[in-house]
């Protein structure tokens, strides 16, 4: 079997941060397992996070009304994207797994990571209007969010002041990664390392190292298959009536997003259920 390639999209200002340590553990552990590991150190690269007309070489399709997705779609097909986007495309194309390593900022990715996603997950490269979710163009690749929080886990419980972490993760994992077809692995969450003792931080990194040894073999999280939706224009891409009927008698909704007015399925965005049928 050919060695696997792992891309780490890393975002932290400081090389002495806990995020840097988590990134280093991933590089060392996966390299020792025979993987080819590529790191995009976004701050060190000075990665440009804002999607602009500069991302396209040559003339715009419609300079009077600039539409980024349309223009980059055309530029991708004609090999006219900026060099930095093309470099990241090459890394993604090689990767069997992408690890996003970052601190949670304002309940989301740092702006530089969001900018990477906006610019690199280009229409035509990562998805098309016909190829999204489980039919996305990245469906043969895995992805995982590995991030630190500034607050303890208790604050992200369903009764915690920050709210259920599964709700927080739904737009990050479903709206970006699953939308592009990635097989999304359960997130690696480092709860409040800035407030942890040295021994606790060491234990967090050791747990990450242990997980990394089997990460590529893990089963992805549960997302609703596109087959469960009526994708016709008339239906508006909503769940088929028979699916709703099936779940009418179930105690939980289908996913964190398609909850059907029921309690959210526990840990839908943080743990992969055994023998998933979706």
**274 has pLDDT over 70:** no
Determine the pLDDT at residue 2.
Answer: 77
Mean pLDDT of the residues in the chain: 95
pTM above 0.75, yes or no: yes
E strand or H helix at 120: helix 111-120
**271 has pLDDT over 50:** yes
Give me 142's structure tokens: 């895995």
Q: Could you tell me the residue ranges of all domains in the chain?
A: 5-220, 222-278
CATH 3.40.50.360 fits 5-220, yes or no: yes
Yes or no: say if 70 and 60 are a contact pair by the CB < 8 Å rule.
no
For residues 221-241, average pLDDT: 93
Q: At what angle do helices 18-32 and 198-212 cross, to 10 degrees?
A: 30
pLDDT tens figures, 16-49? 999 999 999 999 999 999 999 999 999 999 999 9
**275 has pLDDT over 90:** no
């Amino acid at each position: 079997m050919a060695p696997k390639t792992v891309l780490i999209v890393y975002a932290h200002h400081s090389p002495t941060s806990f995020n840097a340590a988590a990134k280093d553990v991933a590089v060392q552990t996966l390299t020792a397992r025979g993987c080819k590991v590529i790191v995009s150190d976004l701050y060190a690269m000075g990665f440009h996070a804002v999607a602009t007309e500069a991302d396209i070489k040559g003339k715009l399709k419609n300079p009077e009304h600039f539409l980024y997705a349309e223009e980059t779609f055309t530029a991708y097909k004609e090999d006219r994207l900026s060099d930095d986007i093309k470099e990241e495309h090459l890394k993604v194309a090689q990767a069997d797994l992408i690890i996003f390593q970052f601190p949670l900022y304002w309940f989301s990715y740092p702006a530089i990571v969001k900018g990477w996603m906006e610019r690199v997950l280009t229409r035509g490269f990562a998805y098309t209007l016909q190829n999204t979710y489980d039919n996305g163009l990245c469906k043969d690749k895995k992805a995982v969010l590995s991030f630190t929080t500034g607050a303890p886990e208790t604050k992200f419980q369903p009764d915690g002041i920050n709210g259920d972490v599964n709700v927080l993760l739904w737009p990050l994992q479903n709206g970006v990664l699953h939308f592009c077809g990635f097989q999304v692995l359960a997130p690696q969450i480092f709860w409040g390392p800035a407030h942890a003792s040295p021994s606790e931080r060491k234990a967090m990194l050791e747990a990450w190292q242990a997980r990394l040894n089997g990460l590529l073999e893990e089963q992805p999280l549960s997302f609703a298959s596109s087959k469960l939706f009526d994708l016709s224009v008339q239906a508006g891409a909503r769940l088929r009536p028979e699916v709703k009927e099936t779940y009418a008698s179930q105690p939980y909704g289908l996913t964190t997003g398609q909850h059907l007015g029921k309690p959210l399925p526990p840990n839908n965005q943080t743990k992969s259920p055994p023998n998933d049928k979706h």
